[in-house]
Amino acid sequence: MIDSLPQARLPRARIDRGLDVAGCHVDLAIDEAVDRSGISAAAARLAEDLVAAHSGCERRLVRVAALLPSGRPLAMVRGRGATVSVSLSHAGGLCGAAVCGTAGVGLDIVDPGEAGPALDVWFTPAELALFPDDGLLRPRLWAAKEAAFKAARLDDGFRPRAVAIERLDAAGFCWTVCGRYRRVCGRGVFTEAGTHLVAIAVAAASIRVEHQAGSD
């Protein structure tokens, strides 16, 4: 885990198969995008590589595409929805993908230099008090919120204050996302990619809630 901004360069195409995230096996791939204008496609291709390896099927039979209108990525094998969950992220020339066969997964890559006090409007005082401000408190909180939102798979639109980070340390976090119709909770871990912070969240439970009129 990183305690200060790391200086190391990212080894090209870092791949972790079978990462343990709260008891779930997650496959993670992070790479430097050759062409920044094609970074979304590069992340989707990384996810396709992981899904093919995870499913043991030919690479050409796998496609990862965005579900509209939310933009959530979906994996398809032979034109049918795959049973695995996929998540994509890109930041500062890096693209990444995470795949999990047993839980909703969410990946977020954050440049710590871009996650400063301007983000405090999205954090509660309780969240800001979860861990000492060691320079990575805000990047961790922000990455945790975005990864948790993606893992929740609610297709509601991202509202940072609807994502509560309940526990946080340098290694991981616990979260709850309150959507319009469901409340989803789970856990996550942090790792690093070069100078970037990486959060990986997995969903543990989803509970149906009544939609409150005027709660939007």
Among 24, 88, 136, 178, binds ligand COA (CB under 6 A): 88
Secondary structure of the chain as H, E, C letters: CCCCCCCCCCCCCEEEEEEEECCEEEEEEEEECCCHHHHHHHHHHHHHHHHHHHHCCCHHHEEEEEECCCCEEEEEECCEECCCEEEEEEECCEEEEEEECCCCEEEEEECHHHCCHHHHHHCCHHHHCCCCCCCCHHHHHHHHHHHHHHHHCCCCCCCHHHEEEEEECCCEEEEEEECCCEEEEEEEEEEEECCEEEEEEEEEEEEECCCCCCCC
Written as six digits, the tokens of 95 are 């693209």
- Residue nearer to ligand COA on the CB measure, 73 or 132: 73
Which residues within the stretch 107-136 sit at the binding site for ligand COA (CB under 6 A)?
Answer: 108
Residue 191 found at the interface with ligand COA (CB under 6 A): no
Taking the complex as a whole, how short is the minimal distance between the CB of residue 145 and ligand COA, in angstroms? 9
Among 45, 54, 150, 187, binds ligand COA (CB under 6 A): 150
Residue 72 found at the interface with ligand COA (CB under 6 A): yes
- Residue nearer to ligand COA on the CB measure, 70 or 129: 70
Nearest to 45, CA basis, from 21, 70, 13, 91: 13
Among 117, 157, 181, 205, binds ligand COA (CB under 6 A): 157
Identify which range of 81-89, 163-171, 185-193, 204-212 contacts ligand COA by CB under 6 A: 81-89
Residue 32 found at the interface with ligand COA (CB under 6 A): no
Residues in binding contact with ligand COA, number by CB under 6 A: 21
Taking the complex as a whole, how short is the minimal distance between the CB of residue 88 and ligand COA, in angstroms? 4
Residue 38 found at the interface with ligand COA (CB under 6 A): no
Binding site residues, ligand COA, CB under 6 A: 40, 43, 66, 69-73, 87-91, 108, 146, 149-150, 155-158
